[in-house]
Chain A
């Protein structure tokens, strides 16, 4: 039986072989990177324009909103890059292609992740980082060592949560072969919402983002901590550091769901 570490090492090897194949065609590779940067640069401009118009989101300055947006965006794009393979799970299930994953001695989830690694998504990752960079120059955060050390934790937690959400969407396709756009709209929409301060939403939306899909714990509350702001919702300060714990719980539930999904897999008749 493989340990998780061995599995990860194998997964990285596999990802390496796949990436090597992509770089073997440098022309098309650079074209993809370039076009992805152009698209994302356009999105950055649009966002900056939007921030400028709505620079007042309940006591939040433009820089602060951009900061929240930046950490969410960075986490989302890294998560999306790692988890692209999950996008093809519904079609693999529908076509019976998932059979192949199940005859291999590696975790089916890890196999799915590495099945489609591609460098194309690097442009998307850069987008979040650029926004974060702008935000940092627009705010004057009182940095401390603790805050600096917490930043990577925030990003890592956000990445984990987004990967868990993408996994959740994939899991549903074990039960329904119908289109899952509606669920997709839910997660993508959710990730967009996580980029805005929680306090601008209605109460039920806030609760949804804290206690069902814990995006509030991975973006909004950690942002309050870094920015040194008071919580307009008046929750305890512990909330600001609960992200990793809550996300770990969420991931456990999703992992259980994945295993249930695998048991439900029905392949296809020939």
Chain B
């Protein structure tokens, strides 16, 4: 297939928030009354994702991430704008599209509560008409990589969160989807479970070139899995590009820790002003912060060498959390 795998063009979704009316009479009234306040969950979202890309879709709570994904799966019909996914328009070809996508919502299982995982998977095999042989292969891969064997015959309602999420992932992949939507797939999981899921996703993407759109609040997920991120805030895309470039653009400050062979004394404060900032000075150890755009690490070292012999240097990249927080708040923000 030519062209992008997922394309969103000016997607918008408005919800009418209606007053709740009590009782039978209220039910009848709300059937005819069309009034209420409109809120835009997604205002104007456009992006384009190619086959095999693994893109992190991030933003604060309520930014519109889940709503975007629901429009891209065909669950919700956009209020305006268009989407093309795997060559289909979700709202028109929901069922055909369903055959091409796998979906995991961390908040809500796609499995059947009262069925054992094995039964759920078998049921899905029929729904997606997965050939027997392919089903066995996919099931075996999932059982091995996601370690499902301990709970294959347990009803889904009795599974732990981590087990359930692994089951959901296995279920989403049975029919070899071209696209995988993951909406907070690591939410509430412990470190071991998170690591297992990340490794699985990385291997999957490497081997099958499945296209992945991933939302998460755990930026370690993003750092380990995604080259590209799309950041959304209040229903609008505020950044779309490489993770590394984001740091340069917003995160600004890189920290360098200089270890002198002896305390450089108060004279070190004259360093500041060369687009540098002394963050901390404790005996022979000095922590300097600077903007990557205007200063480089060698220049910092050259300047520092006027104040003594530098024995050791270490560099700290800004934490991605800080970068993104700064981005939401904006450069002129008054927030603390």
Tell whether A pairs with B: yes
- State whether A180 touches B27 (Cβ < 8 A): yes
- State whether A175 touches B119 (Cβ < 8 A): no
- Most A Cβ at <10 Å: residue of B23, B27, B115: B27
Note all chain B residues with C-beta closer than 8 A to A96.
108
Q: In the complex, what distance in Å separates the CA atom of A13 from the CA atom of B127?
A: 9
Q: In the complex, what distance in Å separates the CA atom of A267 from the CA atom of B70?
A: 9
Q: In the complex, what distance in Å separates the CA atom of A182 from the CA atom of B28?
A: 8
- State whether A13 touches B75 (Cβ < 8 A): no
Instruction: Using known A-B contacts A263-B77, A269-B62, determine if residue A21 contacts B114 with beta carbons closer than 8 Å.
Output: yes
Contacting residue for A102 out of B73, B116, B126, CB 8 A: B73
Report if A49 contacts B (CB, 8 A): no
Chain A residue nearest to B65 (CB atoms) is: A270
The size of the chain B interface, using a CB distance under 8 A, is 44
Report if A130 contacts B (CB, 8 A): no
How many whole Å from A111's CB to the nearest CB in chain B?
8
- State whether B108 touches A97 (Cβ < 8 A): yes
* CB-contacts of B10-38 with A (<8 A): 15, 20-24, 26-28, 30-31
- State whether A182 touches B24 (Cβ < 8 A): yes
Note all chain A residues with C-beta closer than 8 A to B23.
178-179
How many whole Å from B179's CB to the nearest CB in chain A?
11
Report if B57 contacts A (CB, 8 A): no
- State whether B98 touches A21 (Cβ < 8 A): no
Q: In the complex, what distance in Å separates the CA atom of A182 from the CA atom of B76?
A: 28
Chain A residue nearest to B22 (CB atoms) is: A178
* CB-contacts of A1-36 with B (<8 A): 1-2, 6, 10, 13-14, 17-18, 20-21
The main secondary structure of chain B at its interface with chain A is mixed
* CB-contacts of A250-270 with B (<8 A): 263, 265-267, 269-270
Note all chain B residues with C-beta closer than 8 A to A175.
30-31
- State whether B75 touches A267 (Cβ < 8 A): yes
The main secondary structure of chain A at its interface with chain B is loop
* CB-contacts of B81-113 with A (<8 A): 91, 94-96, 98-99, 101, 103, 105, 107-108, 110, 112
Chain B residue nearest to A14 (CB atoms) is: B123
Contacting residue for A176 out of B27, B73, B74, B105, CB 8 A: B27
Note all chain A residues with C-beta closer than 8 A to B101.
103
Note all chain A residues with C-beta closer than 8 A to B98.
102-105
Chain B residue nearest to A115 (CB atoms) is: B112
Chain A residue nearest to B129 (CB atoms) is: A10
Report if A44 contacts B (CB, 8 A): no
Contacts A99-B75, A172-B31, A263-B91 aside, 5 further interface pairs with beta carbons under 8 A come to: A13-B126, A103-B101, A105-B127, A105-B128, A179-B27
On B, residues with C-beta under 8 Å from A are 15, 20-24, 26-28, 30-31, 41, 62, 66-67, 70, 73-77, 91, 94-96, 98-99, 101, 103, 105, 107-108, 110, 112, 114-116, 119, 122-123, 126-129
On A, residues with C-beta under 8 Å from B are 1-2, 6, 10, 13-14, 17-18, 20-21, 96-97, 99-100, 102-107, 115, 172, 175-183, 263, 265-267, 269-270
